[in-house]
Amino acid sequence: MKKGKKIPIIFENEDVLVIDKPAGISVHQDGRKEEYTIAEWVLENYPEIKEVGEPLILEDGRKILRPGIVHRLDKDTSGVMVVAKNERAFNLLKGQFQDRKINKSYRAIAHGKFKDDNGIIDKPIGRSGSDFRAKNTGRYARGEMREALTYYKVLKRFDDYTLLELRPKTGRTHQIRVHLKSISRPIVCDGIYGKSLRCPEWMGRLALHAYSLEFTLPGGEKRTFISPMPKDFEAALDKIRGL
């Protein structure tokens, strides 16, 4: 690393960079506040890919650089992300995301108990009518309703919480968070979709982790990359077991 925050690298070749994004860092600027982001880290360490990808154009005309950024994770979500290092890789990965050929797996700690070991949440997502930051489902949603499908599997049940594996088949903003809220099982410490529930001190941040990402590399090789459960997540689970 040259300067700035250290971001763990899971895999790197001439086409892609697979990183282990920490919680608490945004992927790119949103135009509302200045903060250090994954995009800044990429520019510091890989200045040659500055023009790869597509910038974000704000309503006032400002351009936010997103060098090689093909997809994003929420600021407080940790886990595996891929960055394209050239335009060929960017277009290939973008196509795989659009065609739903990339397999994503997440881990989350949710409030409450799940009756079934496996389930599907199939609910279109629109804008929230009451919070500009949020999305919603059903009669509380506004604007265009976009198809959204999430598969879940119960990994471990606790008295008041559940550890889940989640596999979103679509890529809507906040999809997992919105879907779990829609079945009254919001993610622990979700300040938007679970704000009426106490955020336990043993977690302290959104209990959502991007665990694995499977995609085809330029050249045709299909690979799966894993971000192990972070220390704060493991510590939270140890704490729950002792409650």
The 125-128 sheet, strands edge to edge = 135-137, 125-128, 141-146
Q: Catalytic pick from 15, 20, 30, 74?
A: 74
The CA distances from residue 186 to 47, 177, 208, in Å, are 39, 7, 11
- Give yes or no: 15 in active site: no
- Residue 86 contacts residue 56 (beta carbons within 8 Å): no
CA 222 to CA 214: how far, in whole Å? 7
- Give SS3 for 118: strand
- How many CB atoms lie under 10 A from the CB of residue 22? 17
Quickly list DSSP for 67-111.
TTB-----TT-EEEEEEESSHHHHHHHHHHHHTT-SEEEEEEEEE
Tell me which residues are annotated as active site: 74
